[in-house]
Structure 1
């Protein structure tokens, strides 16, 4: 124990806490928890289960990290939660460990922000630089790629994939896969264009944005099935961004896709 652990905190035997980590008042840290250098638990935080928290991550009060999955099939098997570096996990957020049926691992990348009340369910994989706004929920087995923004009170259906750089509007239910750089809004989650603001802020070249715009129009109005249109796109452009969209569409999916309106 170091001077960075408040006397009121409950640290169970076996917990591995770096000497530079800080554990605030009335926190609970379970026996299989690993807190890396620079981690800070503000106060009243619960970190339990077989959970590792990466360097310089900060967790605010009343967050519950590493509890068992909200899955009735879970039968006490040993599963894990891995959280990367420099994440910000705000008040009341929750993240669960995995299930044996889903691979046994819930994983969060680096430099993410989970706002008040955000939820990450069992076996979800969240990439880097993801923002999940207040009270939004990511269901089990979802795959959220890098630089995705999920608006407040949004819900992501289990097994859904959301491609890199996509943005999900507030109060939106997403039931099918979202292409990279897609813009999704409305209560039932319509694919309503591309995330042009995000692309411009990321410094994407105008030529690539133009190629993405043309690709989106072909996906919306071209002949044949959605996957057929995507396959033809790869032969018609050299843009790496368009190729990324095509590879996402032609990859393995447990859901169908949100298609352009």
Structure 2
């Protein structure tokens, strides 16, 4: 028995695994590829040069692979690539990239993307990310593994959100959030280390203690950013479980293009 509802529209050229389920009135474009055991909810539109991996769940009325909301876009065949085991809820919008960047918007694996979320062109989302309802990412945003973005949060273009960080609901984010840090507010400011999230993911007590020391160095000791980076480099060589994580924090700060939240 067909797993594609008879009212769905699947254009010629679409590559759909035989195990994919497509609901009523969904539309699948000619340049879409959908991997095994993925389900597509009713009235959803999957278009553009979009590749979707295996075991994804796409809710009703989702808009996947639409043209980027960038006035420079002239119809180039840019892409959206979605990994495996993602949940993408109803009314989500995920757009393709632009030639002004890499030309690809990327969603990793095992992400939980709730209702009404927008992921703009050229964004790159890692793995195990949670995007709460109505969170909105402008173009070129990077979200690293295990980050959480709260509901109704707006993220400025080119911002990077570090791994294991958490951005509180209804925040406005215009600068980078370092890994492991909690941020919230309009404009978002730091509120400590994401201790509970790190414990849930198996971080040791020593590693969390080292990150707390790093946070104090960066935000609480009255140091300039350059002074803080020198001390963070020392902390990253303390010889404990936290060294690799403090080094990741330092590397993020040094690589930040928009500057970190302060």
Give the match for residue 249 of structure 1.
253
C-alpha separation in 2, matches of 1:190 and 1:46: 37
Equivalences for 1:31-70 in 2 at 5 Å? 31-70=30-69
Give the match for residue 141 of structure 1.
140
Give the C-alpha shift of residue 123 in structure 1: 0.2
2:167/2:183 contact within 8 Å kept: yes
Q: How many residues align?
A: 257
Matched, 1:17 2:20: no
Give the match for residue 110 of structure 2.
111
C-alpha separation in 2, matches of 1:74 and 1:254: 24
Normalising by structure 2, report the TM-score: 0.95
1:172/1:186 contact within 8 Å kept: yes
Change (3 A) 1:89 1:227: farther
C-alpha separation in 2, matches of 1:225 and 1:190: 17
Partner-residue secondary structure (3-state), 1:95: strand
C-alpha separation in 1, matches of 2:230 and 2:70: 37
Gaps of 5+ in 2: none
Matched, 1:78 2:77: yes
**What CA deviation, in whole Å up to 9, does each residue of 1:184-214 have, x standing for no partner?**
1122101111111101111211111111111
Give the C-alpha shift of residue 223 in structure 1: 6.2
Give the match for residue 228 of structure 2.
229
Give the C-alpha shift of residue 134 in structure 1: 0.5
C-alpha separation in 1, matches of 2:46 and 2:94: 10
C-alpha separation in 2, matches of 1:77 and 1:118: 24
- Please, what is the CA RMSD of the aligned residues? 1.2
Gaps of 5+ in 1: none
**What CA deviation, in whole Å up to 9, does each residue of 1:52-77 have, x standing for no partner?**
11100010000000000011111111
C-alpha separation in 2, matches of 1:36 and 1:85: 9
Matched, 1:186 2:185: yes
Give the C-alpha shift of residue 222 in structure 1: 4.2
Q: Which moved more, 1:218-227 or 1:167-176?
A: 218-227
Partner-residue secondary structure (3-state), 1:65: strand
